[in-house]
Amino acid sequence: MSLAATFLAMFVAVAAAPALVSAESGDEPIAEAKVVIIVGPVESSTKSYKRRANEAYAEAIKYTSDVTKVYSPNASWKIVKAATAGASLVIYLGHGNGWPSPYVNDPNYTTKDGFGLNAKKGHGNRNVKYRGEPYMSELDLAPDAVIILNHLCYASGNSEPGRADPKRRVARKRVDNYGAAFLNAGVAAVIAEAHGGITTYIRDLFTTDLPLEDVWRGAWNVHGNELSFPSVRTEGAMAYTDTDKATSGYYRSLVLQPGKTAADFRAGFSL
């Protein structure tokens, strides 16, 4: 073999070596969190809700490429249920329907404490159908998933616009009920943010090891009026509110199983 041919053979062997090492190392793709952002039909406000949802999308996509939008008029229960399978973070913006409320009692919570979705896909932004606790129990999420409820009535204890602020005991029941809908389905925490943005929650879930209580406390609009109480609906769970004023303005809440951290949230999608 000529000297030139010898050098060529050595070059080919060296160049091929990294590929051989990589193939034999058993490297697997790094697990990514699945994030699903849902916007239900909110009549003429749907456009502004989508704008807020897009802000959440812009933050989530920084940390994972697996971010799915399910927006009205195509946010039917069938589509939402399929889209959320295996999700670690589910963000919902839309109408809320909780209890206690001025409406007819629904002892099975069939329409309470869930999502207000399109009754059928492709039929505009006014065909709301409430899918309550029995439907939320069918969600097949990742271990230690987190739910963020944004711009809902009832979820954080609040009333509908134009109605009187609730008394503390009523607000707490609303918070506890909405949390139970998801905690009883196995999620780690339910954050309800009725007025503010949610990008800080997304950032801290993906970039810190904070307890989930501190993820909630780290929001930009903390008011310093935090109160906590044990859940009545979910054994072992704790609930928190942070009112705008000392005794009114129930627009921020958290319900969770104590001891969970942002690191646990991330470990859930790595299993």
Q: 120: buried, middle or exposed (CB in 10 Å: 19+, 13-18, 0-12)?
A: middle
pLDDT at 24: 33
Structural domains of the chain, ranges and CATH numbers in brackets: 30-268 (3.40.50)
pLDDT at 163: 96
Q: What is the pLDDT of residues 189-207, one digit of tens each?
A: 999 999 999 999 999 999 9
Q: What is the pLDDT of residues 70-95, one digit of tens each?
A: 999 999 999 999 999 999 999 999 99
Q: What is the pLDDT of residues 9-52, one digit of tens each?
A: 433 333 333 333 333 333 444 579 999 999 999 999 999 999 99
Predicted confidence (pLDDT) at residue 142 exceeds the cutoff of 90: yes
Tokens 């629904």 sit at which residue?
Answer: 106
Produce one character per residue of 161-175: b if its CB has 16 or more CB atoms within 10 Å, e if not.
eeeebbebebbbbbb
The alpha carbon dihedral of 94, 100, 102, 105 has a sign of positive
Q: Which long-range contacts (CB under 8 A, 24 or more apart) does 74-79 make?
A: 74/118, 74/121, 74/122, 75/38, 75/39, 75/40, 75/41, 75/117, 75/118, 75/121, 76/117, 76/118, 76/119, 76/120, 76/121, 77/115, 77/117, 77/129, 77/131, 77/135, 79/121
Q: Is the peptide bond before 100 cis (omega within 30 degrees of 0)?
A: yes
Q: What is the pLDDT of residues 207-258, one digit of tens each?
A: 999 999 999 999 989 999 999 999 999 999 999 999 999 999 999 999 999 9
